[in-house]
A and B are shown apart, each in its own frame.
Chain A
Amino acid sequence: MKQPLLVFNKKGIYCKQADVYIDAWRPVDKCIITHGHADHSRWGHKQYITHTNNVPIIKHRLGDITVTAKEWNETFIINGVTFSLHPAGHIVASSQVRVEYKGEVWVFTGDFKTENDGIAEPFEPVSCHTFITECTFGLPAFKWVPQKEVFSDINSWWNTNKEEGKTSVLFGYSLGKAQRLLKHLDTSIGKIYTHGAIENMTEILRPIYDFPNTERITRDTKKEDIKGNIVLAPPSAHGGTWIRKMVPFVTASASGWMTFRGARRRRAIDKGFVLSDHADWNGLIETIKATNCEKVIATHGYTDIFSRYLREELGYDARTEETQYEEDSSETEQKLDNASVK
């Protein structure tokens, strides 16, 4: 029997013909990295291959590593297998990986979203035979509203807080969500202050991407200067001593999980906005149709439900594979909730 082009083994998603891994979760020799979140770009590989814009991100996170940079659509051939990277729209510099061998094409999405968020390179569907897709939000209950509406809500929330003499503290993962939030805050309302972790990451991205001005909160930052402005902070800052400088403050977080009333109500955060960096139900289905694929492999998320729908309702040859992103993939969003729920 013919060996599949990509297999899921103990170390990650593996292409035997090229002896290359994608987003491996154990140390390997050669690994293509879809994006800079910790569960996809792990420590310890001998050689990393990733998009040019992702290089400074993973170097910042992983230190002195050996990286080969690639542009979008640039093909590179390893032992007869042709690889290329295509924008995934999940966060800045996130890629899908296209793998072609003897006319057979596979695509691995990594994490992705279909809406153009104005900062991450917009998602492009890539034609293939076999499509390996995430489905973190693979339930028809998840339908995102356009981000324009969400940001209008976020900015009016900030404005109201300012009028009440309060500082707005908005939590977001320091890579990805923080920059997306930053990009769309209305600076006519006030100044944007940042937690060190977010400021460090944003500084690295400034040469490549355009962001509004921010001010790092340091020991010397005066309490009265922050008042009424907005503070971007990683979820881990919630409940710590750092945040006391912002008193009086109101907190909010933005995540796809905020779709559920239970999640909105039970968190220790004052306000929840539904804003996700993953595709929603319609985004997933439309993308699969756009790839013209025959086979779908669903990883991390509501995999069983999603693949059953694809099989029974849409006639795809669909199955699931376990990855070790499962816990983490949603965590980039979920950390917001977990860190805050007591």
Chain B
Amino acid sequence: MKKFAQLIKTIDSTNKTNLKVAALTEYFQTAADNDKLWAIAILSHRRPKRPVNTTLLRQWATEISNIPLWLFEESYHIVGDLAETIALILPTTESSSDKSLAAYISEIQALRTLPEAEKKEYLHTNWMKLDYYERFVFNKIITGSFRIGVSQKLMTRALSKATNIDEDILAYKLMGNWTPDSTTFQKLVLEENEEDYLSKPYPFYLAYAVEDDFQKELEPISQWSFEHKWDGIRAQVIIRNDEVFTWSRGEELVTDKFPEFQKFLKEIPNGTVLDGEILPFGNDVIGNFKDLQTRIGRKNITKALLKKTPVILIAYDLLEWKGNDIRQKPFSERRKILDKLINDCNCNSLGLYLSETMAFSSWKEAANERELSREKHSEGLMIKKKESPYLVGRKKGDWWKWKTDPFTIDGVLTYAMRGHGRRANLYTDYTFGLWDGDELVTFAKAYSGLTDAEFKKVDAWIKRNTLERFGPVRSVTPHHVFEIAFEGIAESKRHKSGVATRFPRILRWRKDKPIEEANTLDDLKALIPK
């Protein structure tokens, strides 16, 4: 645990990628095998099942710290991370533990089935045995989600340096639904196991957003293939050994959520891996992303739900064909095989469609097509180099996304809340309203898009113009207008405004606009696609 906590501390105290990789590499060279295996699992978000619910964690941490629960909640709100908050508020200790990471994790796993009193006893004892960083790691293992500024890519790079195994091969080995209990470091990382590969997906290749004036850089336009950028769930569908496996981009096996894809077996031969987008497709039109959420969110996919929100796969790439990994073939060749495969079979009836490729002779033509994106239920255009192999992870150069411009609307700042972490003493989380008659109705919350200097100015203004305080929230005099950008919009019964926006953020501070000139709720509703 000491060694792993030290690793996390080192990673935390630098913003330089090479130092992070060096620290990880050293860890992978020197730690025990079962500790390494757990480190890989944790850093790739494979945490053990949560043994204690967070309500109890909070309660027990406040008891030992001798503070009231509300004060814990306020602190948690400001610190922004439960594991960190608990590590900070517990009484300081001088001790530190020599127990290994793997030993701690097996104790934590065993905790699940113990009676509550024993759980509490275990946590109290161990909290007081650990120093700050060890506590933090311990709490993180219990609460899950280890976001510590190390991407899977960085971890893989370090592991590659430590083991001398190629990075892409490692990325492939680490995919899928293994757990440290079902494998060993030797088996997972070092050995070759053909049979394990049956359900394994390939690492996804991800595109970068285009930069300003990208057109010049991409000349000649003839080397590029265009497609619409579909707004669903990126997925790989694997057909091997008469079985179908569906993986989402988050490396989650979602086969059970999309039973309709089992039908692909009828037409698609074994040894095929498709890369594409899962889209809602009720009444034979592409639906809203919101509809898909009902499919991912439910534990059990009922017949009624299948009927209400049918889905399709719109395929845009072929990674494996006749059992061979064809990722190194040029995109154009892979597409030729894919197009033929889908066009020759009765695929549409199975819910398998093709993402049409397009060619343009000028950027003007391409721009015109991009203008049609909303009509075609896409988010913009994808630009893929015809010659490009299918790479691993987010790599610049061969695949680009050229999204549509976001929707924008001018809203009035009505409420503000303190930020988290670095922004903990600044009011940086804002609520915006639109006019409905002479009333401002909340329509969105946003906390990104201003510069640090602007946030400071708005913060100072908020502190001087507070109307009322509700815990961490302050209502402010309506005075400032901000242009809010968002990616999608849909009707919603859960929002007071009757509208839900997707990924709202602040585009700019409209200091030139008085609040009377902010937009109305009707203006917003007019943006909802018919």
Could you tell me which A residues sit within 8 Å of B by CB distance?
Answer: 139-143, 145, 257, 259-268, 270-272, 301-302, 304-305, 308-309, 312-313, 322, 326-327, 330, 334, 337-338, 341-342
Cα of A51 to Cα of B471 in the assembled complex, Å: 39
Q: Give chain B residues whose Cβ lies under 8 Å from the Cβ of A330.
A: 425
The residue on B at minimum CB distance from A320 is B469
The residue on B at minimum CB distance from A263 is B422
Task: Tell me, yes or no, whether B491 is within 8 Å of chain A by CB.
Answer: no
- Are A260 and B421 touching (Cβ within 8 A)? yes
- Cβ-neighbour of A139 out of B75, B421, B456 (below 8 A): B75
Task: Tell me, yes or no, whether B89 is within 8 Å of chain A by CB.
Answer: yes
- Are A139 and B12 touching (Cβ within 8 A)? no
**How large, as a class, is the contact surface on chain B?**
35 or more
Cα of A334 to Cα of B456 in the assembled complex, Å: 11
Binds A, one of B77-85, B219-227, B237-245, B380-388: B77-85
Cα of A321 to Cα of B42 in the assembled complex, Å: 46
| Interface core residue of A259, A265, A309, A322 (most chain B CB under 10 Å) | A265
- Are B149 and A140 touching (Cβ within 8 A)? no
Q: Report B1-32 CB contacts with A as 1/0, cut-off 8 Å.
A: 00000000000111110000000000000000
Task: Tell me, yes or no, whether B67 is within 8 Å of chain A by CB.
Answer: yes
Q: Give chain A residues whose Cβ lies under 8 Å from the Cβ of B149.
A: 265
Min CB gap A292→B, angstroms: 22
Task: Tell me, yes or no, whether B463 is within 8 Å of chain A by CB.
Answer: yes
Q: Give chain B residues whose Cβ lies under 8 Å from the Cβ of A342.
A: 452
Min CB gap A48→B, angstroms: 26
- Are B15 and A270 touching (Cβ within 8 A)? yes
Known: A140-B89, A143-B88. A341 touches B452 (CB 8 A): yes
- Are B460 and A327 touching (Cβ within 8 A)? yes
Min CB gap A141→B, angstroms: 4
Task: Tell me, yes or no, whether B356 is within 8 Å of chain A by CB.
Answer: no
- Are B13 and A271 touching (Cβ within 8 A)? yes
Q: Give chain B residues whose Cβ lies under 8 Å from the Cβ of A271.
A: 13-14
Q: Give chain A residues whose Cβ lies under 8 Å from the Cβ of B469.
A: 304
- 12 example contacts (A-B, Cβ-Cβ < 8 A) are as follows A139-B74, A140-B65, A143-B92, A260-B422, A261-B421, A262-B424, A266-B421, A267-B15, A313-B67, A322-B463, A327-B459, A338-B456
The residue on A at minimum CB distance from B73 is A305
- Are B68 and A312 touching (Cβ within 8 A)? yes
Cα of A260 to Cα of B72 in the assembled complex, Å: 15
Cα of A163 to Cα of B16 in the assembled complex, Å: 19
- Are B89 and A341 touching (Cβ within 8 A)? no
- Cβ-neighbour of B424 out of A260, A264, A267, A270 (below 8 A): A260
- Are A141 and B75 touching (Cβ within 8 A)? yes
Cα of A66 to Cα of B61 in the assembled complex, Å: 54
Known: A309-B68, A327-B459. A141 touches B452 (CB 8 A): no
